[in-house]
Amino acid sequence: MKVELVQLAGRDGDTAYNLERTLQAIAACAPDTDLVVFPETQLMGFPTEESVAAVAEPLDGPSVHAVQRAARERNVAVVVGVAENDAGAFYNTTLLITPEGIALRYRKTHLWASDRGIFTPGDRYATALWKGVRVGILICFDIEFPESARALGQLGAELILVTNGNMDPYGPTHRTAIMARAMENQAYAVMVNRVGEGDGDLVFAGGSAVVDPFGQMLCEAGRDECRQIVELDMSRLEAARRDYRYLDERRFVLPGERIDHADGRRELLIT
């Protein structure tokens, strides 16, 4: 599977600017790319408690529709973060958008300090199939909790995608966490972070990365805007799981209701 990591600087609350840059990046992807991944809340940036009602959009709104059109035109899947408005409830959401539409929606379950009072936490983990690979999504602070990635592993995830909005001085924390989450679940992990300055004097740490199922770093970005293209060798999954499988040998299963959908999606509802 060929994946492009698009590490960008964004503008908080400036959807028009962020959307334009997102569409440009999708249009510029290689013709044989399977998946293009952007940072957390890529389309809207990070809203405040005062601005979220004006900034957040429903998933059938104009910004998501524009990304859906771009995905169809390029015949590529896009992983992009949004501030979601669901009938007046606001979520920090990441979408997997394929040429057919929204294949997967994940709402951030672990809210960072700056999310609280703005977003509502999600209530489930989910995976979906894309080109025969079972894909799951996490968002930023989620990866500091082993249970989040383990929930995706429990749903059979082979590729964990992380949209990130991690800022200084926490870059090293997420570098360590993403390597651990990949190794413990014997899955690929792709993390794409934002760079540059944000509101509230934040400086985003970059460091977008791809980690293989052995926990080995395959590529790592610096602190500037960039695009990295990585070909994932999915045979590495079986190699990592040949001698032992952590998921088979664990003695504790995360609680929750598992739902298997007819379209291949799997969800684990948090209880």
Q: What pLDDT, in 10s, does the model give residues 63-74?
A: 999 999 999 999
In degrees, to the nearest 5, what angle opens at C-alpha 64 toward C-alphas 86 and 72?
140
Average pLDDT of the chain, as a whole number: 97
First to last CA, the chain: 34
Report the share of the chain in percent with pLDDT over 70.
100
Tokens for 111, please give them: 């809210």
Tokens for 195, please give them: 């760079």
Global pTM value: 0.96
Q: How far is the C-alpha of 28 from the C-alpha of 216, rounded, in Å?
A: 29
Catalytic hit among 4, 84, 140, 267: 140
- pLDDT one-digit tens code per residue, 44-59: 999 999 999 999 999 9
Residue 271 pLDDT more than 90? Answer: no
Tokens for 144, please give them: 């500091």
Q: How far is the C-alpha of 133 from the C-alpha of 152, rounded, in Å?
A: 13
Q: Tell me, what's the pLDDT at 200?
A: 87
Catalytic hit among 4, 29, 40, 144: 40
- pLDDT one-digit tens code per residue, 76-129: 999 999 999 999 999 999 999 999 999 999 999 999 999 999 999 999 999 999
Calculate mean pLDDT across residues 215-238.
97
* Other beta carbons within 10 Å of 113: 7
**Cβ atoms of residues 77 and 96 within 8 Å:** yes
- pLDDT one-digit tens code per residue, 232-244: 999 999 999 999 9
Catalytic site includes residue 231? no
Which of 21, 18, 58 shows the shortest CA–CA distance to 41? 18
Catalytic site includes residue 29? no
Report the share of the chain in percent with pLDDT over 90.
99
- pLDDT one-digit tens code per residue, 164-219: 999 999 999 999 999 999 999 999 999 999 999 999 899 999 999 999 999 999 99
Listed as own residue / partner, the contacts of 117-122 with beta carbons closer than 8 Å and 24 or more positions apart are: 117/49, 118/47, 118/48, 118/49, 118/52, 118/90, 119/52, 119/83, 119/90, 119/91, 119/92, 120/89, 120/90, 120/91, 122/91, 122/93
Catalytic hit among 4, 84, 108, 267: 108
Catalytic site includes residue 108? yes
